[in-house]
Amino acid sequence: MIKSVSSLRKSLFLHIRTLQTFSKYNAQAASALREERKKPSYQYGDDEYADLDWDNLGFGLTPADYMYVMKCSKDGEFTRGELSPYGNIQLSPSAGVLNYGQAIYEGTKAYRKEDGKLVLFRPDHNAIRMKTGAERMLMPAPSVDQFVDAVKQTAFANKRWVPPAGKGSLYIRPLLMGSGPILGLGPAPEYTFIVYASPVGNYFKEGIAALNLYVEEEYVRAAPGGAGGVKSITNYAPVLKALSRAKSRGFSDVLYLDSAKKKYLEEASSCNVFVVKGRTISTPSTNGTILEGITRKSVMEIASDQGYQVVEKAVHVDEVMDADEVFCTGTAVGVAPVGTITYQDKRAEYKTGDESVCQSLRSVLVGIQTGLIEDNKGWVTGVN
């Protein structure tokens, strides 16, 4: 009986050792697999593309392989960031971003040229705008070099998700948020900077067809002294109700008026607005309630180069209804023509098509962004 028990113990011991060894090798294999998955996608062949229908890209989220993450230490300095597989992040329920909306974001794009090379459009201006927005929201921000480097790394690591030339772009979203926990109202004790990406086509479902806009009179987007002039996340949820209502009535987007008199044009839900009358192109002044769009700034310069008189001023809604053309600009929308605007009981129609001012400006901008037109302005930055 004693011998039998001893043999049983020995057998059990050997069995446990076997399980431990198997578990060890299994853990090593799992670790190796995780490391393999972390290998950047730029190790794939240069001619490899993700498996997508490039001819039918919309503006929906199709996460690319990798995102860039960088943390801000307590002394206000950002540590060295790194690429990691795209995925969920952990946040405390009391994170500043979740409770007090302390976050800002940017939007830029990577384009593929005909020769296959990737380029970015004025990412340094996105970096500067983020720093300005961060100051308004009492947040530290990455330096211009840190920002541009992060965007470059994200674009390069995800290059198989950059559409073929002329098929779209890789939309890149840098996001800065108060990730540290806090209960009382105040700035977060820690900040996280994340850059992720998604291949996209046209922002509006109409594609490059003309938009139909509705002038919103009940709701306002921003007020003097607020944060309408920075790309705060708190600017966007409040427009959803008016936008949803307009879309249910068949409109593409809404145009907001000033909060005081509700007679002067501000901007649409996610883009700036231009009004054309003869050889004059007017756009609302960025007086703290309107976002200083990078596409806006670029189009203004292109228009001046083409001999138009470009004016920043308070644009009365009556001027809009009497205009020859209206168009919208933004990183996501590009340069989008407006076909009609409805204000109260009036509906104005505008010139669109190949001979329009909008199309002329758009063709130059897209040409520079994609390398079809020589960049004499230093707007394009190479990725690889």
For the chain, the structural domain boundaries read 66-200, 211-370
Decide if pLDDT at 35 tops 50: no
pLDDT tens for residues 120-148? 999 999 999 999 999 999 999 999 999 99
For residue 77, count other CB atoms closer than 10 A to its CB: 10
Decide if pLDDT at 178 tops 80: yes
- Mean pLDDT, the chain, as a whole number? 89
For residue 4, count other CB atoms closer than 10 A to its CB: 8
Which CATH architecture does the domain made up of 211-370 adopt? Alpha-Beta Barrel (3.20)
The yes-or-no answer on residue 231 being catalytic is: yes
Catalytic residue among 39, 231, 263, 346: 231
Banded model confidence at residue 11, pLDDT cuts 50, 70, 90: low
CATH T-level assignment (fold) for domain 66-200: D-amino Acid Aminotransferase; Chain A, domain 1 (3.30.470)
For 58-72, 205-219, 281-295, 315-329, which range has the lowest pLDDT when averaged over its residues? 205-219
pLDDT at 134: 96
CA pair distance 42, 333, nearest whole angstrom: 28
Decide if pLDDT at 98 tops 60: yes
